[in-house]
Amino acid sequence: MKIDKALILALVIFSLLTIPFINSVPYLDGNIDFVKAHDFFVGGFGRLFGNWLSVHPPMKEIITFVFFLLGGFNQIAYNLVGILFGLFGIVVFYKLCKRLTNKSIATIAVLLFCSSPLFISAGLFSLTDYLLEIFILASLYFYSKGKFFPYFIFTSLALLTKETGLVLVISILATEGLWALKKIGPRRLLESLSPLITAAIWFLFLKINGKTPWLDWNFSGTGERGTIYTILNNLLSLKIFNKYALQNWLQLFVLNFNWVLWPIAILGITKGNINFAKSKTLLSILLFSLIYFISVLSFQTYTIPRYALPLEPFFYIAIAYGSYKISEKSNLLKLFISVFLVGITSLRLFTSLDPISSCIWGKTRILGQNIYALNQGPSLSGFDGITYNLQYNLIVKKRTEIIFDKKSKIIDCSWIFPDPNNDFKTIDILNLKNENPDFICFP
């Protein structure tokens, strides 16, 4: 079997950037997910539904249940989910890129993807949008190959990870509908509808148990009518143009040097030999990106950077295509572009030095890291706004060290335990103790 050096390199880079943090104590939304995973592990749906007012679909709880059975109930087993699924996501992304473009473009794209600051930070605790992104990539890969059964499986996994997986189903259904206008293909149309059966079963299961789909943190004023109603109301009344959408779009186009990379991506989109009329997969990606952009990213909730994760792989494909087109006729330009992409990726991954992002969001210092202050002021991001590059992982690592450090004394507890209710549940679940009596942060 021929070894693909580009893919191996991408897997190695991702592993080096994630494995050092495998013993980290769950933090912020990653900690909330951990408490939910514990409730599901010890009490199934009964305890999960009993302890949480509304819940996302349960795929993450089911996955972590398996990992806990195999590796014991501890933070390493929990964090291993993100690493292993991240490796799988890199593989399917690379294979998808090769099907859509060529090996040179796929190589650039996968190296950008495996070192993506947002992908690395959200993957530490396998946050739901991270898993959703991976399942969407797998769905699109098998869709591009015309493999119905694995497409159905991974699209169902996406739907059972987060409700926004419906955007993928709608996009592919629309694509198949457009194709049916040219050439009748009722079988493919029915196949594209099949994942909705999975969604229907989940919603029916919720109704039988007296629960509702996710309702929390809906700031639209129509939250009591449900998420789907809010999204449709936003679209029909043009309420997609709101302060939450503005923040999400700013993060997508500007945050952490994204503004430097978008011109290359736009060049890739406009100059690339992309024929949407001939490629159903490319058309599905285009429709998915547009629908997700105007519906999910305009939803009135906390504007957390990871909500853009499902769009990010296609951003990297466009950047790779643009880079390839710029340098395909000059070795000197290839070297320049390579050095530029490595340099800007390193800056985005390890630092928060973007002057435009600093001007928009300001800066703050948390546990030794100077980061953009997305958790403050008008950014609307809340605590999880700090999850956008490897500095978040370093904050988590430092926090873990402080929790275990017997010499820790008076410190700012607000960033050690920002969510005391769930943080202390995790401390109790994992039986974590700091025997130093001067460590004031424990209850």
pLDDT in tens, 203-220: 888 888 887 777 777 777
Per-position b or e across 43-65, b if 16+ CB within 10 A of its CB: eebeebbeebeebbbbbbbebbe
Instruction: Give pLDDT, residue 241.
Output: 87
Residue corresponding to tokens 């004023």? 221
Alpha carbon distance 141, 281 (integer Å): 8
- Joined together, the tokens standing for residue 157 give 């996994």
Domain edges within the chain = 5-429
Instruction: Give pLDDT, residue 273.
Output: 64
Asked whether the beta carbons of 164 and 132 are under 8 A apart, the reply is yes
Alpha carbon distance 382, 293 (integer Å): 21
Amino acid identity of residue 13, one-letter, is I
DSSP one-letter code for 211? -
DSSP one-letter code for 225? G
Alpha carbon distance 131, 296 (integer Å): 16
Assign 179 to helix, strand or coil. Answer: helix
Instruction: Give pLDDT, residue 408.
Output: 63
Confidence (pTM): 0.93
Question: Which regions in the chain score pLDDT beneath 70?
Answer: 1, 180-190, 223-226, 272-278, 406-411, 434-440, 442-443
Alpha carbon distance 83, 79 (integer Å): 7
DSSP one-letter code for 26? P
Alpha carbon distance 136, 310 (integer Å): 7
Instruction: Give pLDDT, residue 375.
Output: 87
Instruction: Give pLDDT, residue 29.
Output: 95
Provide the CB-side half-sphere exposure for 442 (13 A, CA). 19
Residue corresponding to tokens 């679909």? 57
Alpha carbon distance 428, 430 (integer Å): 6
Apex 85 CA angle, 388 and 319, nearest 5: 50
Instruction: Give pLDDT, residue 439.
Output: 65
